[in-house]
Structures are given as C-alpha cells and as structure tokens.
Amino acid sequence: MFTSVKAFEGQQYSTLKRQCLQSGLLFEDPRFPATDDSLFYQGNRIGRVVWKRPRELCEDPHLFVDGISAHDLHQGQLGNCWFVAACSSLASRESLWQKVIPDWKEQEWDTEKPDSYAGIFHFRFWRFGEWVDVVIDDRLPTVDNQLVYCHSNDSNEFWSALVEKAYAKVYGCYEALDGGNTADALVDFTGGVSEPVDLLEGQMATDEAARNQLFERVLKVHNRDGLISCSIRATTIEDMEARLDCGLVKGHAYAVTDVRKVRLGHGLLAFFKSEKLHMIRMRNPWGEKEWSGPWSDSSEEWNKVSKSEREKLGVTVQDDGEFWMTFDDFCQYFTDLILCRLINTSYLSIHKTWEEEVMRGSWVHRQDPLRNRSGGCINHKATFLQNPQYVFDVKKVEDEVLICLQQKEKRATPKEGKGENLAIGFDIHRWHFLILQVELNRKYRMHSAQQKVAGSIYINSRCVFLRKELKEGRYVIIPTTFDPAQQGDFLLRVFTDVPSDCKELTLDEPPQTCWTGMCGYPQLVTQVHVLNAEGLQGQDSNGAVNPYVIITCEGERVRSPVHKDMRCPNFDIKGLFYRKKPKEGIHIEAPPPC
C-alpha cells in the first residue's frame, strides 16, 4: 500500500506486539505514557484523569461497530473540531481510512482468540512528505468512567478515540490539538494538497456564474475521493462557536460528507425534467445542532423529491449533526471552504495523471550573502534573492501548474507551548513564493530581479497553494519567509502535465578552476532577450511552417520552442551568457521574414 513507511520514533509495531505476546503483558507505551504530560502542556486542566483500557470500559470492545461512519465521532472536551471534522470526511472514504488504519482486521478484538490481544495499535499519517507509522497503547483518558475526548455513538466502539490518541502523540500531547486547521488534518490523512477557497473574496453568494463554476470544482473533488471541509469565519472572540438563528455555528469546522445534483419531481417526471438542484451535505462534529433552513432534515422542501431519491441521499430526521443545504444557501452563510485533492500520479488511472516533483529545502540564516538562504519576502530587496531558488520547465504551449509549499511543523513541542507556526502569534513561518520566467539556459542563481508572473498570498498557515496557467518556458520559484533571518525546513511540491525537471539552483557563478587563469574567466554577463519578433517564418525539411529562434554566444546556444503551424509568431525568449570574450558578437539565427 505504501512504497515507504517510516516508524515514528523508531517504534516498530510488529516487533513490539510480538514482544508483548511472548511476555504475556499488555503494551505500555514509554514514548506516550498514561500521565498528565501526555494530556497538557502545563498542568492538569480537567481534574483527576484515570487512564483505562477499552476492556475496563465495556465488556465487548471493538475497533468498529457496524462498519465505520461519520456518525461515529463526537468531539469531547477538546477544541479540536478541526480534527474531528477531518475524521468525519475520512470515514466516508474506505480507500483512505484503510491507509490511516492499516491491517484493521488484524487490529480488531478477536473474541475467539483473547490471548492474541496485546493492547497495542498503530495508525499512519502523512507527515512532511512521508508516511509515518505511529504506535500507541490502548489506555485512554477518562473522567467518571467516561472518555474525556473523542468518542463514538456506540460505547464499545473505539476507532475514533484511538486515532485521536495516535494523532495527539505525533503533536506531543492532547492539548496540542486544541485549536488547529482542518486543512492540515486532511493532508495528514491523505498526502493530498489542500486548496483554501475564500467564498467572500470570490463573491460566491452574489455571482451565480462563479458559484456554479465552484460547485463543479467541489463536485469533481468529491467524486475523485478528495476530502472537503468548511466553516463560517468568526471575526471576534465572542463570535467563536456562536450559534446563528439558522442553527449554524461560527468559528467551527464542518465536514462535507456528500455533494450531489438532486433531481426534483416524482416518478417518470423526474427523469424527463432537466432541473437539478445543487446540494451539499455537511456534518457538525458535535453530533447535533444542525441547519434549520430550507432542505433541513424535516423541511417541506423534501416533498419535491421522490422517496427513492431521498433514500438514495440518506435523508433522516434525526438530530445527528448531519444535514443538507442547497449550494446557493451554503455560499450565503459559509465563508471558507477547503478542498483537499488527491493528486493522481498513477499512469494506470482513467483520470488525469500529474507529474510530481518534490523538493526539500531550508531557510538558513548566514552572515555571508552568498551563503545566506533566508532573505525574507520581496519587500526586502537587498536580501530577497538570497533565498532558495528552484527552476522548472513548462514544456507545453500552456499548462496548468499546481504548486504547494509546506513548512515543517514545529507544533509538537509540549514543553515550549503550541509551537511557532499556528496559534501562538509567531510570524516566523509566514512566507511567500514568486514564480519568475527566466532565461531558457538558466543554470545559475538569479542575482537581479526578473519579471514577476504569479505569486501566492502571505499567510501563517502550514501550507500555501497556487494554481496557475503558465506559458511554455523556464520558471524559478523562490520560497521565502516573511521576514529575513528566519529559519526552518520546507517541502515544495510542483505538479505539471509533463515532467518539469524541477531542481534547485545552487551555483552563484561559473566555477573557477586552476585553468581559469590560462583559459580566461568570464568578464561579462550578458542577457539577450528576443521579444515580439514579429514577421518571422520558417519551414522544416518537409515544408511545414514551424519557426523557431536560436541565440548563439561563445559556443553556447539557446533555442526557442518551435511554434508549430505558424507563419508569423511572436517570440519571447531569453538567454543568459557568461562571456570570456566581450568583443565577440552574439549571433541570433531566425527564419527569413514573411
């Protein structure tokens, strides 16, 4: 299932389980002990906690009861609706939850073989470019014999509580999950790419065309097994978890559990009518407090839909936290949407296959300008180009490029607090990346600014994402922290239709050798730019019209892309030459004019 899985903190599940079975002792995790240090940053917040194993809480414990469902989850005494909402989305995707909960049948309690139980479980999360296998024991925090944190509807079902414990171990303690970003959890569950959508900025409530276009995007992500979450932005502390008259809650993460085009009408009439309603289903991690407007569970609007259609949609009248809305109403009330795409890189798929390039890098501050790699954003012109630089090629005439920049999380530091990049106000890990179109023969780092083509937003999130249509050519991505001299590791992922040959630019100038004194060292750097060279044409050996331009300087040449089946194209190419003989000319070879 995975090409490579790393054991978290070096703990091998199979080895530890075998040792427990041989010794006849239930596993007790020394890396995440049943103490307050595993619960809190600084001191107990909820009173006396007793850690109990599932068999101490019920007679017949199970990982799953009647399968896995979004309805299994309830939040508990922790402000981690973001995590629970992500789990709700995960529960609806069998192919995904089986990655997070591997060997689930083997991990299930076996009533016929009680001696095979060792009190040990393992779960997998995608962390900074690799899947990690996290081992835990089954001791769970309780107060008055009730689970303190995430729990299921069924008192003998424990998958959600155990997944939450493994996730808390990764972050250092349970309290580290109090307040977070659903997008991060969705990525950790899938290895996908999260794209935030600002519904207010996009004016989705008033722009029908934009709203319909967004619905098709959301439907496509859902149908291709992506995970989706949404929320209503809280602008003040008082607004957090404030309930609106319509039943929705501000500052609260909801899981999107279904997206459909619903037929209106009954019987044969429904098949012949072209009218379909854009609908979206959500779930409140609290397991209650639902939308009370049109198309809510018991509203009259459902009479417009046939019984068979309602059954297919799974419409209920229970206050279970799950409800339907029209997409129009959704855009009227909700402000933020997160689309976590599973970027398909498999050539065996019937869907679009992306080519992925993964680069690991670091922002490192040094006093030497040539070795400094933490220059800050473009506002700091003197140091901006000292940041890491990555070159990639767009080889099609025009291609949609997806770029995801992720910083390495430093949140799992319970002794120091929640860490620098999320909830405590540090702006150390705020960054921006620029895409610059550069010379086709670019192989050295840039030391002078180029034309900006696109850029992400500045945001103090773990990830930033950009989707952009780019024309054929060579580009440089510059990942930066917001301020100079900030340090950290990052992961850069570039997705294109054809291989982009992404690589880091590390050379600052042509290297000097012992021969440079005799052979000559570059005395001049010249940039040649052929722009809007109108009126050029050319023919290949078969007479086809396929013009191109070649720039030659001291034996090095740059050739433009071929403009197929065009007589008079506009050329826009650049070449950068390090010249040992400045007096020698530069030769530009182009087809004869029209």
Rounded CA-CA distance 585/143 in Å is 83
Backbone angles phi, psi at 71, to 5 degrees: -75, -5
Please spell the DSSP secondary structure of 396-414, one letter per residue.
EEEEEEEEEEEEPP---BT
Work out the angle at residue 418's Cα, subtended by the Cα atoms of residues 413 and 421, and round it to the nearest 5 degrees: 100
Distance of CA 421 to the CA centre of its chain: 16
Q: Any residues with CB less than 8 A from the CB of 471 and at least 6 apart, and which?
A: 394, 397, 398
Tokens at residue 572, please?
A: 């826009």
* Per-residue b or e along 281-301, where b marks 16 or more CB atoms closer than 10 Å to that residue's CB: bbbbbbbebbbebebbbeeee
Q: Which amino acid is at 334?
A: F
Catalytic-residue membership of 331: no
Q: Which of 122, 222, 252, 278 is catalytic?
A: 252
User: Across the chain, which distance is largest between two alpha carbons, in Å?
Assistant: 90
Distance of CA 400 to the CA centre of its chain: 17
Rounded CA-CA distance 298/303 in Å is 10
Hey, which bits of 144-233 come out as E strands? 146-147, 193-198, 227-231
Closest listed residue to residue 494, CA positions, set 355, 347, 353 = 355
Catalytic-residue membership of 553: no
Q: Any residues with CB less than 8 A from the CB of 266 and at least 6 apart, and which?
A: 306
Total Cβ atoms within 10 A of residue 570: 13
Q: Which of 80, 284, 421, 460 is catalytic?
A: 284
Work out the angle at residue 104's Cα, subtended by the Cα atoms of residues 102 and 108, and round it to the nearest 5 degrees: 145
Provide the pairing of β-strand 5-7 with 130-137. Answer: parallel
Distance of CA 444 to the CA centre of its chain: 30
Contact 174, 76 (CB under 8 A): no
Instruction: Characterise 172 by phi-psi region: left (phi > 0), alpha (psi -120 to 50), beta (else).
Output: left
Q: Which of 81, 173, 230, 502 is catalytic?
A: 81
Tokens at residue 259, please?
A: 């997206």
* Per-residue b or e along 5-14, where b marks 16 or more CB atoms closer than 10 Å to that residue's CB: eebbeebebe
Catalytic-residue membership of 284: yes
Instruction: Give the three-state DSSP class for 279.
Output: strand
Q: With residue 379 as reference, give the H or E element that holds it.
A: none
Contact 422, 180 (CB under 8 A): yes
Angle between helices 182-190 and 81-91 (to 10 degrees): 40
Tokens at residue 185, please?
A: 């959890």
Tokens at residue 319, please?
A: 């206050």
Angle between helices 159-171 and 81-91 (to 10 degrees): 130
Residues with catalytic annotation?
81, 252, 284
